[in-house]
Amino acid sequence: MRHRLGDFALDVDFHAGLGVTALFGPSGAGKTSIVNAIAGLIQPREGRIVVEGCVLLDTASNIDVPAHKRRIACVFQDARLFPHMDVETNLLFGWRRAENPVEPQEIKRISTMLGLDHLLERKPAKLSGGEKSRVALGRALLSSPSLLLLDEPLAALDEARKNEILPYLERLRAEVPMLYVSHAVDEVLRLANNVVLLREGRATGQGSVFEFASGSIGGVAAGGMIAARIASHRDDGLSELSFDGGMLIVARVNRDVRSDLRVRIRAEDVMLALEEPRAVSANNILPAEITAIRDVSQTQVDVALACGSASFASRITRASLARLALTPGQRVFAIIKSVTIDPQV
């Protein structure tokens, strides 16, 4: 897809799979322009847009499906609720205008899922920012979209309100495919299945959120993320998590055994050793292989590691890199000091 807006040139080509695909990049990278083009709010000068096998735009064939017929719903930073309508009427606005409206019982299910049942009679002026965002999500879902576009929906919220909304967004992953625009690393790591990196109107990398977390597709190397499952809860207040590369021991996770999790590892929390340490306080010491060494700054590097099919990174100084004489292909031991647990809902 190619388009020009003044001095800004957009030239992108990417495929969004199932689940949540994040468009990640700094302000001015072209994220909102892509959303507007997919929604039919702007017509690219040249390109092709296909959603679930339906061609929405093909400039070569003079196909341009009008926005109101694209079955695409958008949620923006500002909820854009109708101020004169109560919550229930705002929700029903999307349902009544859907080309293929869901069954009436779905209205109740979505309202309950988003925690809106006790808010139905309130006007938007009486809602918090997080509540408005949930109403906007509900209205979008009840329009029966084939794709949900979310353009930085949490950017205007404080941390408390963001943490209120994120669990609802996680639940929506199973409801409808989503294209999620953000420049916040934590949001992308928690929500996305796939990531498209954007800079100055170009897609500079694309891959799974696990590749994004490890830095292997470029962008911000957050350290790494592992798909794990709770294997057991121990009597000493710890939980054991199994993953393809072995076992992680973490503070007790308040979820059932066999629950799936995302385990986030910060590069700064991973130390490296050439020999397996025997007398350290860290609970997690994993054998790994160095797959790459990436420059970070004049004083630091990221050492990319593979542990089974999982990948993460260790951020160390150049002095440590030289002292240990680390090279790609070398076997080491990763000492993980702490992890962050994100539940897969």
Q: How far lies 286's CA from each of 72, 229, 270, in Å?
A: 45, 17, 10
CATH of domain 223-343: 2.40.50.100
| Residue 344 pLDDT greater than 60, yes or no | no
> pLDDT of 279-288, one tens digit each?
888 899 999 9
Average pLDDT in the 270-285 region? Answer: 93
Average pLDDT in the 25-54 region? Answer: 91
Average pLDDT in the 186-205 region? Answer: 91
Residues comprising the chain, all counted: 345
Q: Which residues contact 38 (CB under 8 A, 6 or more apart)?
A: 49, 51, 56, 72, 147, 149, 179
Average pLDDT in the 112-139 region? Answer: 92
Please provide the average confidence, as pLDDT, over all residues in the chain: 90
Pairing of strands 202-208, 194-199: antiparallel
**DSSP per-residue codes, 46-103:** B-EEEETTEEEEEGGGTEE--GGGS-EEEE-SS----TTS-HHHHHHHHHHT-SSPPP
> pLDDT of 61-103, one tens digit each?
999 999 988 989 999 888 889 999 999 999 999 888 887 788 8
Average pLDDT in the 245-271 region? Answer: 92
Domain ranges of the chain: 2-214, 223-343
> pLDDT band at 159, cuts 50/70/90?
confident
**b/e 266-285 (16+ beta carbons within 10 angstroms → b):** bbebbbbeeeeeeeeeebbb
> pLDDT of 209-229, one tens digit each?
988 888 877 766 568 889 999
Average pLDDT in the 28-41 region? Answer: 92
Average pLDDT in the 309-328 region? Answer: 95
Mean pLDDT lowest for which of 142-146, 229-233, 320-324?
142-146
Question: Distance (Å, rounded) from C-alpha 33 to C-alpha 38?
Answer: 9
* Residue 165, both tokens: 């909304």
pLDDT at 345: 46
| Residue 175 pLDDT greater than 70, yes or no | yes
pLDDT at 17: 78
Q: What is the pTM of this model?
A: 0.83
Q: Collapse the DSSP code of 287 into the 3-class scheme (helix H, G, I; strand E, B; otherwise coil) and give the result.
A: strand
Nearest to 17 by CA among 147, 138, 143, 204: 147
pLDDT at 31: 92
DSSP state of 283: S
| Residue 37 pLDDT greater than 90, yes or no | yes
Question: Distance (Å, rounded) from C-alpha 6 to C-alpha 345?
Answer: 42
The residue with greater pLDDT, 222 or 278, is 278
Amino acid in position 311: S
Radius of gyration of the chain measured on its C-alpha atoms = 23
Instruction: Return the CATH architecture of domain 2-214.
Output: 3-Layer(aba) Sandwich (3.40)
**b/e 5-26 (16+ beta carbons within 10 angstroms → b):** eeeeebbbeeebeebbbbbbbe
Average pLDDT in the 248-272 region? Answer: 92
% the chain with pLDDT above 70: 98
Nearest to 115 by CA among 167, 155, 192: 167
Q: Do domains 2-214 and 223-343 have the same CATH topology?
A: no
